[in-house]
Structures are given as structure tokens and as C-alpha cells.
Structure 1
Amino acid sequence: MEKRKMNYVEENIKDYDRIFKDFKIEKKEKEVEDIFDIIKKYKKINKKTKLFEIGTGNGWFLIICKQKGLNCKGIDIVKSNIKFAKKLGREYGHDLEIKLGSIEDSEIGENKYDIIVALSVFEHVLNWKEGIRNIYNALKKEGLFLFLSTNKFALKSEEYDFPFYGWLPDKMRYKLRISKQGPKIMRCGIDFNQFTYPKLIKIFNKIGFKTIYTPFEFLEAENFNSSIIYKIAFILGKKFKLLRYIILQFMPLTYLVSIK
């Protein structure tokens, strides 16, 4: 049976102008610095670094990378995302190179990039394993892939504000979102996937990534804007393997750094 594939999405560009009318790239600079601090633990970043972003959205990450003098490109499945990102890029003096396509069926090169990032993207990728394989193939040897997405058993979902949202079976999540947001959500915005750390690590290893780091390797308790109890639990999780495993199951997001 032929697999379903994601379709390119055309949204009204005026919606983007309204949603992001007060958006400032400067508000995202700290977030990018935090991401780069993580990457630099395992990979040098300089002007020769080739970086690729999966799911560019409104372009903020690529624009800040350009401001840092990096060689960066990206891909997005939504035509109006690309239009808006390029428009915003020009406002900041940069021409963004963004390919229209889905990472599940778009080749982005072979042994080409030093770093690939996917920030809150793969929950929306229907055939996500194919996407991970394409990323693996596009990375150079020792290349780094930074992955951030949903965590199925998060106590509070970062994807949608509904109690134990990720715990729901797929069909129930789809029905809930359609009832609240209309059938359009299934074309653009639905989370096809709710991930778990064990599942992701197993698939990443199978595809070929030789080393995979979880937040316990690259984050500290102070990185979290959460209660003191959560911070203490995270500190203890660094010391005790069983507690670390339990905490990963319920973290708000899945966050991995993988080395080819």
C-alpha cells in the first residue's frame, strides 16, 4: 500500500502579517544562544559551518544565523511560511534560501551539512522516520542533529492546552482538534506524532546515529523555568539512572542531540 504523503500548504499571507505584525527577531536571540550553547558542547560553530533547518516557519532562526555570519539554509512545507520568512529576512537585510517541501520525501543532499536542527517540527511530519533518514544522509560524518518535539506522556503538553493531551490515542486527538479548530487543522498544524524518548532513541540508533544525548547530558537544572521540586528532581536524575529514565517519560518535550 502506498503511504500517505503530506501536501504542500498554501495559507493566506495576510494571516501571517496579522499574527506576526509585532514580531521582533530580537525576542528570539536568547533562545538561539541557548541552542548554540548546547550545540557547542559537541560541535564547533564558525563561518565555515554549514547549517540546515527543518521547518523554517517565519524564518527567525535562519535570520539570526545569518546575522552571525553562518552558511544556513532550510526547508518548509507551507508556501506562505516561505514567503513571509523571505520578506522578514529582507527587512533584516538577508536573503533566505528556503526550499519548498517536506523532509519526509525531499532529498536535501548527501554528506553536506555539519548541523541540522528541527525545532518543534517532527510532530507534524506524517512519515517521520523517512525524514530522520534523509537528515542522517544529509549530515557529514560527525555531523550533529538537534531534535526538539513532543513528549507523549508530558504532564502538560506543549502542543495543545488540554489535560493529558499527548496521552490520548491519535484518533481522539484528531477529533478533539477538529472539533475545536475545524478540519483545516489536519492539513496544517496537527500533531501526527507524540514521541517518547525510548522510541526515538531506538529509531535513531537503527538509522545509524552513533551517539545520542538526552537533556541530562546537555542541560542543567537552571535551564528550566520550573518549580524548585522539578529542578531538584532533575539534579537527582543526573545521578540515578532509574530516576533519570522516569523523569524523561514525563518531561514537557523530547530533546535530543545526535551525532552521525
Structure 2
Amino acid sequence: MDDKAQKWDTGSHEGFYTYYEQQSLSPATFERFKATRDTLLRLKARQHDTSSMDILDIGCGAGTQGGLWSEAGHRYVGIDINEPLIILARNRAADHGLNLRYEVGSATELPFPDASFDICVMPELLEHVPPWEDCLREAIRCLRPGGLIYISTNNTLCPIQQEFNLPLYSWYPKALKHHFERRAVSDWPELVNYAKYPAVNWFSFYYLRKYLGERGFDAFDRFDLVDDNEKSGLQKLALSAIKTLPPLRLLAHMATSYTVLVAQKQLSA
């Protein structure tokens, strides 16, 4: 472990590790990450040849995305604060003969040069890191002009969530959320499925779009990312209405329990 990693608690509760060890191998997880990869490749293909790109997976967990990017011919690096999961990822890659790089480290201090990646993926990360702005600052620093950041996180607009085992939690006032955050890391770890770093930040697409827009990015939400060619006529009509009518788009976001966003770094940024 390097010196920077030693500044952080890189351990893992057994229950948390076991959950992600199993969840990372589920067909649903593979399909979700494959869909993410294919969406990002489709967006990058509009810019240039995507035959070989550098991919950074921030908060990679057990490293499920590594094999998916590697099989598509891309160079992949995964980083996570959870050392047991990184060891698991390395072992799995070795078992399958894959040349993948996995590092133990913090998303707030990435050990990579400026402008060294074409795509940065940040799945279910920002909600768990109190200085979440530092995570985005580092991802932006490491991204090349024209590169893409993929973010999936919680959605404060929707009352349904999976972060805390409590009803309507995303709509709780801050003071009440802080109370349960303290309980989750003290006497009630089951509340967050034994996560060492439970969700402490809450986002919406609109908030992240504004934040990234001020830093030289063009952002797209889940509806912008849909491939119309895969939809029926009725689905295309509904999607067109959501994209065209802002109030309907807001309602659609309120009906979705998580936020998905892709942002492209402007060439002049």
C-alpha cells in the first residue's frame, strides 16, 4: 500500500465485502456496466476513432468493469479506497489472464498525471465522499479535452432510494439525515448495509449539470443518452415529450431513484 492510501481507512467490514463480492458477479451488474460502456463508446464514436482509449474507473470496487473495457480493446485502470475489494479485483483479473491495473487510493488524490484519460467513470461514488468536489476536481484534472465523465449517484428529487434502509430518506431534512449518518457509523451499521462510508451527499441532475457547466463541461442526462434506434414508436414519442417539455422532464427525474449523467469536457477547457 502506498503512503497516500495509508492516510485513509482502506479496510472493509466483512458483511460489506461479502455483499459486493457476490453482487459484482451478478448478471444484472454485468448488464448494467456493459450498457454503460456501450453508451460511452457510442458518444465517443461521434468524435474520433475509439479503437484504443484510456479508461479510469474511480471507485471501482471489485473491478467488474475492467474486463468489459479490456475485451473492447481499451486500457483500463481501476482505483478504490477499499483494499480487500482491490485485492479481489486483482485476483480475478489474474485468474482470467487479464492485464488490468488496480490501485488502492482515494478519489480525492488520484495518483495519475493531468490529461491522461479519455473516459472517467464514477459509479455510486460522490454520495459517499464528504469532499465530493475534490473527487470531481481530480477527475476533471485527469481527463483529456473532449473526454467524458460518467456519474451515477443518488437522486434527491425522488423519495425512493437505496442508501439508507429508511422510507423516503432522500426527502428527510438535513438535521435528521445527519442523525442517521452518525448512527450508521456507530451503533446501527445495518442501516447502510455496513458501508464504511455511507451516503452523506445528495444530488440531482440539474445540480450536477450546473456545477460541471461552470467548469467547462456539457452535460447530458439519462434521457439524452437513450439510443432512439432501440425504442418503439410509442417509446420514441414519450421520450420526445420528456425532452421537449421541461416540467415533464422534471417529473420523469422525480420518478427515478438514481441520477445518471455524462459530461463532456470542452476542447478549450
TM-score by length of 2: 0.79
Can you give the 5+ residue segments of structure 1 that lack an aligned partner in the other structure? 1-5, 224-229
Q: Which residue of 2 aligns with 1:247?
A: 252
**RMSD across aligned C-alpha pairs, in angstroms?**
3.3
Deviations 1:69-115 (A, max 9, x none): 32010211111111111111112222431222111133432111111
Distance 2:155 2:24 in 1: 27
Spell out the pairing of 1:166-181 with structure 2 (5 A cutoff): 166-168=170-172, 169=174, 170-175=177-182, 177-178=184-185, 179-181=187-189
Are the aligned partners of 2:154 and 2:258 in contact in 1 as well (CA < 8 Å)? yes
Change beyond 3 A, Cα 1:19–1:185: closer
Are the aligned partners of 1:123 and 1:191 in contact in 2 as well (CA < 8 Å)? yes
Q: Which residue of 2 aligns with 1:112?
A: 116
Deviations 1:107-154 (A, max 9, x none): 432111111101111111121111111111111110011110111132
What is the aligned-residue identity percentage? 20
Q: Tell me, what secondary structure is at the counterpart of 2:150?
A: strand
- Which of 64, 67, 74 aligns to 2:68? It is 64
Distance 1:66 1:25 in 2: 19
Are the aligned partners of 1:147 and 1:256 in contact in 2 as well (CA < 8 Å)? yes
Change beyond 3 A, Cα 1:182–1:26: closer
Are the aligned partners of 2:159 and 2:168 in contact in 1 as well (CA < 8 Å)? yes
Change beyond 3 A, Cα 1:23–1:54: closer
1:59: how far off? 1.0
Q: Tell me, what secondary structure is at the counterpart of 2:79?
A: strand
> Mean Cα displacement is larger for which, 67-76 or 213-222?
213-222
Are the aligned partners of 1:107 and 1:134 in contact in 2 as well (CA < 8 Å)? no
> Mean Cα displacement is larger for which, 145-154 or 233-242?
233-242
Residue-pair matches, total: 249
- Which of 127, 131, 137 aligns to 2:131? It is 127
- Which of 191, 207, 210 aligns to 1:202? It is 210
Distance 1:14 1:158 in 2: 17
Change beyond 3 A, Cα 1:222–1:50: same
TM-score by length of 1: 0.81
> Mean Cα displacement is larger for which, 101-110 or 168-177?
168-177
Distance 1:236 1:176 in 2: 43
Q: Which residue of 2 aligns with 1:8?
A: 9
Distance 1:18 1:214 in 2: 29
Q: Which residue of 1 aligns with 2:222?
A: 215
Distance 2:237 2:159 in 1: 17
Deviations 1:175-224 (A, max 9, x none): 45345316998971300211122221121112221x1101121126999x
Can you give the 5+ residue segments of structure 2 that lack an aligned partner in the other structure? 1-6
Are the aligned partners of 2:13 and 2:195 in contact in 1 as well (CA < 8 Å)? no
Change beyond 3 A, Cα 1:184–1:145: closer
> Mean Cα displacement is larger for which, 199-208 or 74-83?
199-208
Are the aligned partners of 2:119 and 2:148 in contact in 1 as well (CA < 8 Å)? yes
Q: Which residue of 2 aligns with 1:226?
A: none
Distance 2:78 2:253 in 1: 29
Spell out the pairing of 1:1-260 with structure 2 (5 A cutoff): 7-11=8-12, 16=17, 20=21, 24=25, 28-44=29-45, 46-168=50-172, 169=174, 170-175=177-182, 177-178=184-185, 179-181=187-189, 188-209=196-217, 211-219=218-226, 236-260=241-265
Change beyond 3 A, Cα 1:8–1:184: farther
Are the aligned partners of 2:128 and 2:197 in contact in 1 as well (CA < 8 Å)? yes
